[in-house]
Amino acid sequence: MKSPAVAIAFYTFQEALRNRLFVLTLVGLVCLLGVTEFIGELAVTETAAIQALIVGSGMRLFAVCTVSLFVITSTVREFNDKGFELLLSLPIPRYSYFLGKFAGFMLLAFVIAVAAAILLLLYSNVAVVSLWLVSLVSELAIMIALSLLLLLTFSNITVSFMLALAFYLLSRSLSAIQLIAHSPILESDTLSQAFMNRLVDAIAFLMPELHRFTRSDWLVHGASWQDLGVVGVQTLIYVVLLSAAGLFDLYRKDL
């Protein structure tokens, strides 16, 4: 007999199939391929490198937005249809529900990431694309845990998705913001500038370094498995923390 978590993961993945999410992914891949080939025709030199950068950046953003939005909308729909209450009225612990949903969403994220990696093989070698794939799956794991937490906290599609997107964009750009904040051309001796520097550093300390994940320059300049060290450690830390916070919100909900 299947465990409750496995059964929930299976039906969560089936929901993605029923909603034709993979058809959307295929359409996105075809559109991106067309745009990439068109831009490649315009490039004077380094055509393959430019195309690899476009596909890598485009598919990373597409995967993050698609997976995060599906996590939020499918869970909200389950709440509205009273499926959540029905499941928890059975002798199923709440952590099994959470882990099952997370596992189902991770399977969905893996399929989308593999589809993106297959497209990337047209423009980069297998070794580098493999590293890129592992990093993208790790990045999506963090976003899935975050999306579940936001949805369980706010129970609103718009708020949850916008906060998830803001979290992602801020984490991606924090290194550049820190460089600007600590620029030697700025007046760092003023109280306001010192305060802003400390604030930026504090936020950067708390946020995952997503600029180290799924880097598009890997597809051009190459990468090694050592580059995944920071990715693996941060993925473990933030998935555990975000999942723990999500479970806390789930357990305090009254049915």
Rounded to two decimals, what is the model's pTM?
A: 0.90
Alpha helix (H) residue ranges in 4-155:
4-18, 21-42, 47-80, 83-88, 94-120, 126-154
Give the mean pLDDT of the chain.
Answer: 84
The answer to whether 99 and 145 have CB atoms below 8 angstroms apart is no
State pLDDT tens for residues 123-169.
888 888 899 999 999 999 999 999 999 988 888 888 999 999 999 99
Question: Which tokens in the block code for residue 106?
Answer: 């991770």
For residue 36, report the phi and psi dihedrals to the nearest 5 degrees.
-65, -45
More confident residue, 21 or 98: 98
- For the ranges 30-44, 204-218, 229-243, the one whose mean pLDDT is highest: 229-243
Q: What is the pLDDT averaged over residues 42-68?
A: 82
232 contacts: CB under 8 Å, gap ≥ 6: 138
Higher local confidence (pLDDT), 196 or 174: 174
What percentage of the chain exceeds 90 in pLDDT? 27
Site of tokens 């059964």: 7
Q: What is the mean pLDDT of residues 230-245?
A: 93
Q: How confident is the model at residue 114 (pLDDT cuts 50, 70, 90)?
A: very high
Give how far Cα 51 sits from Cα of 104, 116, 139, 255, Å: 32, 13, 22, 51
Q: Which residue has the higher pLDDT, 68 or 255?
A: 68
Using the predicted structure, report yes or no on whether residue 122 has a pLDDT greater than 70: yes
What integer pLDDT is reported at residue 109 of this predicted model? 92
Whether 71 has a pLDDT exceeding 60, the answer reads yes
Q: Where are the domains of the chain?
A: 4-251
Distance CA(33)–CA(121), nearest Å, equals 12
Most confident range (mean pLDDT) of 13-22, 123-132, 229-238 is 229-238
Which pLDDT belongs to residue 44? 61
* Cβ atoms within 10 Å, residue 129: 22
Res 237: pLDDT: 94
pLDDT score of 254:
67
Tell me what the mean pLDDT of segment 105-115 comes to.
92
Higher pLDDT, 43 or 97: 97
Res 187 pLDDT > 70 = no
pLDDT at 1: 45
